[in-house]
Amino acid sequence: MADSTHILICRGTACLSSESQEIQNELQNQLKNRGIEEQVRVVHTGCFGFCARGPVMVVWPRGTLYCEVRVEDIGEIVERHILGGKVVERLLYRDPKTEINTEKIDDISFFHRQVRIALRNCGLINPDDINEYIARDGYKALGQVLTGHSPEEVVNIIKKSGLRGRGGGGFPTGLKWELTRKSPADLKYVICNADEGDPGAFMDRSILEGDPHSVLEAMAIAGYAIGAQQGFVYVRAEYALVVERLEAAVNQAKEKGFLGKNLFESGFNFDIDLRLGAGAFVCGEETALITSIEGNRGEPRLRPPFPAQKGLWGKPTLINNVETLANIPAIILNGAEWFTGFGTEKSRGTKVFALAGKIGNTGLIEVPMGISLREIIFDIGGGIPEGRQFKAAQTGGPSGGCIPAKLIDISIEYDTLLEAGSMMGSGGLIVMDDRDCMVDIAKFYLEFMCDESCGKCTPCRVGTKRLLEILERITEGRGREEDIGLLRELGHGIKATSLCGLGQSAPNPVLSTLRYFEDEYIAHVRDKVCPAGVCRKLSKVRIIPEECKKCGACAKVCPVGAIKGAPKELHEIDPEKCTKCGACVEKCPFKAITK
């Protein structure tokens, strides 16, 4: 055998959907058939982050990364690489800028600017084996806390670290722990908010799929710090793999004595149960989540009192999201000063983003706070495909805002994003190019927010619906001059008067696109034109005579027969028949058709 002692195969949700389970089975069968199964260890892991290139496989000790592996590729990998010691070139990552194949995972530009703290174990360990987590210093932080620190000292470590909540608002984590600790009560609770509902977001899911024990350990540490003995992970039921791995992790931790009675012989008791949500976006809001766990319809409550004073079943409750908790063990082990060495003065540490949209490398990334949007898009994301121009990036999920191209050098941190009209949110980052219509983007997110509104308060229930109706009117060519001002007035009113964070942030996509792309709204309203050609009722598909080569390719693909013209003659598009589907635009080899 020429090479390989250790092979890692991603079995996160994205790779599983592309048959990574079957790939692993085939690999193990082929190794067994060749009698070398004892010499090569095959390990399934969580997400590597390189989602656009999955299924992903890494062969050690050389660290060779193979992308988009298929079951039929396994025979060649075994024969050529594992037995022959030669790399399978066609399965390597090809850098879109240099067009050069990159063999080693550490040499791929996607990973260069990343600093992995919350994702430190994802893609490196088998999430179903607690021993692999222990081998990576797992539960060492819990033991250190229980045997060497008072609860007050633990709270102070988190406060000094500067860690802020990664779930959206960015509230100081240590302060939240301190407030909950100081609330007098006979019972207290710790809740992990794993109700990740943002479109295009998969940060929390990937952490729980790839490293569930880091969150369980952090919850036990938090329980000790605030004086709680019971924790709950509130996770949406659609995350079937997360639920499966969490249940296994909880059982393994109990068997090892890391959950349950008298942890580390300290006299401290702590247990964790799962609670499954039904997929309501509003249940990501703390008080709605609490209401759901209590068995009621998920609706937010008036605050104060805050959960730290009166939360689950009326008892003081600490709620942190998955990514926030995933940082805790690393902070305890390495110290608060170590953590403050990453990020900026007001935004310490790193942030995990789900990078998606019009981007070369779709995937999961973790970068230091303070990195620029340009670095994320072009150094890590690989730039905009097809040579298109970057137009905007949506940060913070459906309730975030759009950052325009002119702010591409903005520092990614809590306060700067708020100043720009967006927010950090939980970490969704959707990239848009020059073919996207910003009015249509705003409408898309408003549709989502309208559907997800619980309906408890009038500003959110009715106000978002009125916003959506105006946007629909504008994108259908029925917009009025006063609509632009009405959008602003209504948006600010909803933000100021809604009960919870969902309603208070719902108008952000509208207000941010109005702030930076008002010219597109004006084009829709006054000129009855969609500059990007996205809004069908405002699109005008036409053939540019001086560019047309009279090949007839457009007429052949038109599904409704709207393009007429004799062979070798200039064709015309019948506007009455044209459905503006764009098939002719994509087919024309000479780019002679616009919309």
302 or 230, higher pLDDT: 230
User: Could you report the per-residue pLDDT of 124-141, keeping only the tens digit for each?
Assistant: 999 999 999 999 999 999
Mean pLDDT highest for which of 247-251, 448-452, 580-584?
247-251
pLDDT at 559 over 70: yes
Residue matched to tokens 């004073």: 309
| Predicted confidence (pLDDT) at residue 3 exceeds the cutoff of 80 | no
Domains in the chain, CATH or no CATH each? 6-112 (3.40.30.10), 130-340 (3.40.50.11540), 350-433 (3.10.20.600), 438-527 (1.20.1440.230), 540-594 (3.30.70.20)
Residue 494: how many CB atoms within 10 A of its CB?
Answer: 26
In tens, the pLDDT along 364-423 reads 999 999 999 999 999 999 999 988 999 999 998 888 899 999 999 999 999 999 999 999
Q: What is the mean pLDDT of the chain?
A: 93
Q: What is the pLDDT of residue 30?
A: 94
Span 294-309, average pLDDT: 93
Residue 493 C-beta-side C-alpha neighbours within 13 Å? 15
Condensed to tens digits (0 to 9), the pLDDT of residues 174-218 reads 999 999 999 999 999 999 999 988 887 889 999 999 999 999 999
CA pair distance 119, 74, nearest whole angstrom: 28
Structure confidence at residue 2 (pLDDT): 54
Average pLDDT of the segment spanning 68-78: 95
In angstroms, the CA 93 to CA 268 distance is 49
Closest Cα to residue 331, out of 128, 105, 177, 189? 177
Whole-number Cα distances in Å, 457 to 142, 349, 452, 497, 537: 42, 36, 13, 9, 34
What pLDDT was estimated at residue 567? 80
> What ranges in 113-150 are assigned the alpha helix state H?
130-135, 140-148
How far apart (Å, rounded) are the C-alpha atoms in residues 396 and 402? 9
The pLDDT score that the predictor gives to residue 187 is: 97
pLDDT (0 to 100) of residue 376:
96
